[in-house]
Structure 1
Amino acid sequence: MKISRRTLISRAMLAGGATAIPSVLFGKFQGDPNAAITDYSALDRVLRMPVLKRELFSEPVIIDALELLQDRNNFICRVRSRDGAEGISIGHPFISKAGYPMFKDRVRPRFLGKDARDLDQLVFDASERNVKRQGIPLCVQIATAEFAILDMLGSIAEKPVGQLIGEIHHPEIAVYQGTRLRELRREDPEVSLALVQQDLEETKAKAVKLRAGRGDNLGSDIDNAPGRTEKLIRMARRMFGDDKVLMIDGNGSYSVKEAIRIGRILEENNYYFYEEPVPWDWYQEQKQVADAMTIPMAGGEEEFGMHAFRWLIASNAFDIIQPDQFYFGGIIRSMQVARMAQAGGKTIVPHLSAGGLGYLYLLHYVSACPNAGEYHEFKLFATKDANGTAVPIESKTEPFVSVDGVIKVPTGPGLGVHIDPDYIKTHKLIYG
């Protein structure tokens, strides 16, 4: 079935219709999903709603230790409550090293000695009150601390992360395959698509995301070879057939004119969504592209500011909203974006940071989003850390497997996994 922007918005409305979140669709937005919202009150109202279920904890949970451990390029966060409960998270595979001094000076003081039941406010303070230091490197440090704290809180409440921040709407998640990024840009389509097909033998995914443009020349319209992207789009549809859900990521490669031209080819070949065709912070230009297209538009992976998402949702610049749980500063803030998206009739399909345990954080987040999309990013359980070492984890409940392109979200307490203690011991305490 052909998916249009209007169809996608209608589905998002139905998916979130039974929840208590107010919708702007009953205001100026009603009846015209392409009209910009001028009244932000509905979005601001959901932003004020608490995320963490404080009522699950009858006693204070004082953060007694918040430690950062390092092994060369890799970082682990370990949190401990005054009563001895612990939580563990693995840092971002390639950004943690660039910003880890901020963990000591800008993040740790915001949490240490505080009541973890106030996590919403603690995360807000760490992200919004670190004036002149905002950005992805800071957000990655905040997220790393928050993931560990949620793991600890889950162990105390004996609930998975999804039940700490909402209800479990998606105990199982269908994935789209997002592998072979470099090959899809650098190799001939015949070669790269054969590799994608090889990966599909493992994942059995019903959906695949391809890559358009060159990706490292933002807004330049440069491709690695003339006509390569157009060839890739058409060849993939022929190779995978009409039943395979296909989508494409432009990674900001295009100007408005070229983005629209490529978008027309995607529409002709019934692609599911068109991600980030222009550079991520070209907001007005993205709006121009969206207004010209019928294919659903996706984006938001590089955003680190709540106000930007507020504008993007209100202005209908994107139909599919893609916060990255690392880049945006954690699951609490990402949940606030999901609520704004739901209020605006938008779908959530978060971006996945490859490597480490990014897929684990994504699974828990998506499980609690009533307006989550049909397919979510997956990169073959890429659990190698920043040193290229496999992260030895074991699920507390069900194994991590993709069965016919569907993965069960861990149901164990917290993040739902055990990390091998011997692996943790290879990391030395640097802050804490």
Structure 2
Amino acid sequence: MKISGIESILLSYLPKNPPRDGLSGIPTRDVYLVKITTDEGITGIGEGFALGSLKSTAIIVEEILKPLLIGEDPTQIEGLWQKMYRTTFRVGRRGIVLAAMSAIDIALWDILGKKAGLPVCKLLGGVKDSLVAYASAGYYQEGKGLDGLAREMEGYRSQGFRAAKMKVGGESLAVDVERVRVAREALGPEVKLAVDANNAWDYSTALRFARAIEKYDILFFEEPLSSDDVQGSIKLARDCDIPIAGYETEYTRFGLRDLIVQDAVDIVQTDVIWSGGISEARKIGILASTFGKECIPHFSAGAVSLAANLHFGVSLANINLFELTVDDNPLRSELSLGSIEVRDGMIYVPDRPGLGIELNEQLVDRFRVEI
């Protein structure tokens, strides 16, 4: 079997009330997809992170990666990953290049699963069929206020979620501490609460915040600092009692290695559409397990990303919790014709061959962006 074609699909959705996290606003929900075709008629779909960089990611694929892959055997996934990574050495080790590689790698796993007639998680030696899902939202939004945040969190509790996560870092410490208090009370004692600063703070600010919210029984404190500040994160993980989680913004196992080895994080987070695909995310998860650390897949994008992160997540014993971003986004909830089941606080991996995703072509046409 040979790769015969690679097509970029660019999708963008404009939320009615755009959310904001601790670092910046999110005016659009962008989804970059690749469709890889083969001479045997098997097609694979992959997704790469592309918030605000849809066209740039497509150009990376078209100009750099596609020429490396046409005519190659799509089942030689590790070899093709290494070929892409070595060839792009002088271009970048984070960001758009890794996002483009992620989309390619995921599509190759989709092809291999369809060729074998098995879900991707089975090819990876999956250890379970579901994960505990936590509702990830709690964004800053115009007009929401404390009452709106409380209603949001009460909604997650009533839907059966066992944990929820909220954004911090976008307001003063006093305001954010009060927001955490309101969320904690709305969730009640049985539902766990995590916070995510999206790299917004320095060490001293993050430590003051952590000490102010420790009494609210926080599950974890995600990406409090820049992922460049390894020494700051080492100190923070040592000095506060809340587990520090991160850093998907470090992308590959090479960057996360120092954070893991030096105990700069207690919980390792990675995302198959940021890190270089399922292949690299799994290596990160295994590296985390070597140091006795839990791994949590990050997820905030489209339906293909959701499925791919789930297949990765159920393949490792040190992954038990899964991020399910639940804001307004049809590119997550409607892009696949076969929905992913969420029930009683659990999210279930698709059991169809490959990723188990079939694109809703009507939705693709509705939200497509031309290069």
Tell me the TM-score normalised to structure 2 length. 0.86
Q: 2:248 aligns with which of 284, 287, 301?
A: 301
Asked whether 1:149 is paired with 2:96, we answer no
How many Å apart are 1:149 and its aligned residue? Answer: 1.6
Alignment of 1:73-84 (within 5 A): 75-84=32-41
How many Å apart are 1:159 and its aligned residue? Answer: 0.8
Asked whether 1:88 is paired with 2:88, we answer no
Deviations 1:125-158 (A, max 9, x none): 2134312321211111111122222111111101
Aligned to 2:288: 341
Give the residue type in structure 1 aligned to 2:209: I
Q: Relative to 1, partners in 2 of residues 1:425 and 1:138: Cα closer, same or farther, differing over 3 Å? A: same
Aligned to 1:110: 68
Aligned to 2:343: 403
Aligned to 1:393: 336
8 Å CA contact 1:204, 1:402 repeated in 2: no
Once residues 329 and 105 of structure 2 are traced to their aligned partners in structure 1, the CA distance between those partners, rounded to angstroms, is: 19
Larger Rg: 1
8 Å CA contact 2:173, 2:209 repeated in 1: no
8 Å CA contact 2:350, 2:356 repeated in 1: yes
Larger RCO: 1 or 2 (CA < 8 Å, sep 6+): 1
Deviations 1:164-214 (A, max 9, x none): 2x222220111101123223x98433332222323444x421101112221
SS in 2 for 1:273: strand
How many Å apart are 1:313 and its aligned residue? Answer: 1.0
Once residues 71 and 172 of structure 1 are traced to their aligned partners in structure 2, the CA distance between those partners, rounded to angstroms, is: 28
Give the residue type in structure 1 aligned to 2:88: N
How many Å apart are 1:75 and its aligned residue? Answer: 4.5
8 Å CA contact 1:256, 1:278 repeated in 2: yes
Give the residue type in structure 1 aligned to 2:118: K
Q: Relative to 1, partners in 2 of residues 1:345 and 1:65: Cα closer, same or farther, differing over 3 Å? A: same
Q: 1:326 aligns with which of 247, 269, 273?
A: 273
Alignment of 1:151-300 (within 5 A): 151-164=110-123, 166-183=124-141, 187-201=144-158, 203-214=159-170, 224-225=171-172, 227-300=174-247
Give the residue type in structure 1 aligned to 2:284: V
How many Å apart are 1:413 and its aligned residue? Answer: 0.1
Q: CA RMSD in A?
A: 2.7
Deviations 1:378-413 (A, max 9, x none): 12386534xxx9744223xxx523211112110100
Once residues 71 and 297 of structure 2 are traced to their aligned partners in structure 1, the CA distance between those partners, rounded to angstroms, is: 32
Q: Relative to 1, partners in 2 of residues 1:282 and 1:384: Cα closer, same or farther, differing over 3 Å? A: same
Aligned to 1:18: none
Once residues 193 and 146 of structure 1 are traced to their aligned partners in structure 2, the CA distance between those partners, rounded to angstroms, is: 40
How many Å apart are 1:76 and its aligned residue? Answer: 3.6
Give the residue type in structure 1 aligned to 2:114: S
Tell me the TM-score normalised to structure 1 length. 0.74
Specify every segment of 5 or more residues in structure 2 that has no aligned partner in the other structure, as ranges.
13-29
Q: 1:133 aligns with which of 88, 91, 111?
A: 91
Q: Relative to 1, partners in 2 of residues 1:75 and 1:292: Cα closer, same or farther, differing over 3 Å? A: closer
Aligned to 2:56: 98
8 Å CA contact 1:96, 1:141 repeated in 2: no
Give the residue type in structure 1 aligned to 2:107: A
Once residues 11 and 183 of structure 2 are traced to their aligned partners in structure 1, the CA distance between those partners, rounded to angstroms, is: 41
Once residues 327 and 3 of structure 2 are traced to their aligned partners in structure 1, the CA distance between those partners, rounded to angstroms, is: 31
SS in 1 for 2:36: strand
Once residues 342 and 212 of structure 1 are traced to their aligned partners in structure 2, the CA distance between those partners, rounded to angstroms, is: 28
Once residues 426 and 125 of structure 1 are traced to their aligned partners in structure 2, the CA distance between those partners, rounded to angstroms, is: 35
SS in 2 for 1:181: coil
Specify every segment of 5 or more residues in structure 1 that has no aligned partner in the other structure, as ranges.
1-60, 215-223
Between the two proteins, what is the percent identity of the paired residues? 22
8 Å CA contact 1:96, 1:137 repeated in 2: no
Q: Relative to 1, partners in 2 of residues 1:90 and 1:324: Cα closer, same or farther, differing over 3 Å? A: closer
SS in 1 for 2:313: helix
Q: 2:325 aligns with which of 346, 356, 379?
A: 379
How many Å apart are 1:425 and its aligned residue? Answer: 6.7
How many Å apart are 1:427 and its aligned residue? Answer: 9.3
SS in 2 for 1:159: coil
SS in 2 for 1:334: helix
SS in 1 for 2:288: helix
SS in 1 for 2:195: strand
Q: How many residues align structurally?
A: 352
Q: 2:354 aligns with which of 414, 423, 427?
A: 414
How many Å apart are 1:354 and its aligned residue? Answer: 2.7
Asked whether 1:66 is paired with 2:6, we answer yes
Give the residue type in structure 1 aligned to 2:330: K
8 Å CA contact 1:355, 1:382 repeated in 2: no
Higher strand proportion: 2
Asked whether 1:312 is paired with 2:259, we answer yes
8 Å CA contact 2:126, 2:315 repeated in 1: yes
